[in-house]
Amino acid sequence: MGLFSGGIAVEKEVREEMVAVLDRYHGEVRFNEPMAPYTTMKIGGVAEAMVFPRSIKDVVLLMQRLSKTSIPFFVLGGGSNLLVLDGGIPGVVIHLRELDQVVLSGEGRLSVEAGFSFPKLSILAQKQSLSGLEFAIGIPGTVGGAVAMNAGVPGEETGSVIEKVTVVTSDGEEVSLSREACRFFYRSTNLPAGIIVSAEFFLHDASPQAIEKKRVDYVKRRRDTQPLTYPNSGSIFKNPGTLLMPSAGKLIEQVRLKGYRIGAAAISEKHGNFIINLGGATAEDVLALMHLMEERVFLEKGIQLIPEIKIVGQSLNQINRGSC
């Protein structure tokens, strides 16, 4: 076993298999692609390979090819709500930025491909005098990511305005699922293994003025409560599962951790459930802060915090142990 440029330890045979699978693929393919520029936290090692499908058909073809191998894959949208470890991501990272088509099908329905910006969708809905996605203006990321995480704000979430979701399964089959079949939960959903490629939203008519007022309120609330001047990944932990409990941010504030710093990562002074990158932070810095937050809240409040942020990739220690 050895290291190829970028630092990921892989078997030579796996590397050759991946090159063969991606040979003459329709979308753009990049090897050893740094992940930090693709995440809102601006942290992370390299992707062994990154692929940019140009259409849903390209996604189907890619999954059909990958299904015949043991090559792992990870789907990347806008890079929010994500921490990529310092050792990078082995296998194939599938970036959906080219899937950005939107179709207004009438009666308040918007069919949107997964790579389209969720905040931009909020603006587009307003232009069509359609209400229901005002909250999306303050949620960075893509439609696919918002659906996968059932992104939302207190009182509103993505699943509540979904009509159906289309997924390309891990064996390359394109299937459409109703909202009921998706089974949306708090910050999660129960979808088959594979890739969300599009979603249909069912919205209702409203005046542009009323929609704008709601959107402005969401933007102001976000600006007033979140540390938008530093790279961050959004909320680190889910809020506890009962309205009677304080939010995760309040719990972290109550155990006196706001402003605490490890390396170049710090818990925001503005919001206790945000970790910010002060410049040059590593994933290890962030993980150390997360461990501290979990430990302190559990010891002092008896509440186990559950991560909302998705952690992917491998640590440098894992690579070093596997190299020779």
Separation of first and last alpha carbons in the chain: 6
Q: What does the pLDDT average to over 26-42?
A: 94
pTM over 0.85: yes
> What does the pLDDT look like over 116-149, one tens digit per residue?
999 999 999 999 999 999 999 988 889 999 999 9
**How far is it, in rounded angstroms, from Cα 307 to Cα 286?**
12
Active-site residue (options: 187, 200, 268, 294) = 187
The pLDDT, as a whole number, for residue 320 is: 61
The pLDDT, as a whole number, for residue 3 is: 30
- Burial tier of 105 (Cβ tally within 10 Å: 0-12, 13-18, 19+): exposed
Angle at alpha carbon of residue 274, lines to 319 and 222, rounded to 5°: 135
* Residue 235 is a catalytic residue: yes
| Lowest pLDDT segment from 170-174, 277-281, 316-320 | 316-320
**How far is it, in rounded angstroms, from Cα 207 to Cα 38?**
36
* Residue 179 is a catalytic residue: no
The pLDDT, as a whole number, for residue 154 is: 81
Active-site residue (options: 198, 235, 247, 268) = 235
Please, what is the average pLDDT of the chain? Answer: 90
pLDDT tier at 2, thresholds 50, 70, 90: very low
Q: Taking 50 as the threshold, does the pLDDT of residue 34 lie above it? A: yes
* Residue 30 is a catalytic residue: no
> What does the pLDDT look like over 61-95, one tens digit per residue?
999 999 999 899 999 988 999 999 999 999 999 99
Which residue from 110, 117, 82, 150 is spatially nearest to 313, judged by alpha carbons? 82
**How far is it, in rounded angstroms, from Cα 268 to Cα 218?**
20
In the chain the domains, ranked by start, together with CATH numbers, are: 2-95 (3.30.43.10), 102-222 (3.30.465.10), 235-308 (3.90.78.10)
More confident residue, 10 or 99: 99
Q: Taking 50 as the threshold, does the pLDDT of residue 8 lie above it? A: no
pLDDT tier at 322, thresholds 50, 70, 90: low
> What does the pLDDT look like over 231-272, one tens digit per residue?
999 999 999 876 678 999 999 999 999 999 999 999 999 999
The pLDDT, as a whole number, for residue 17 is: 87
Residues in the chain: 324
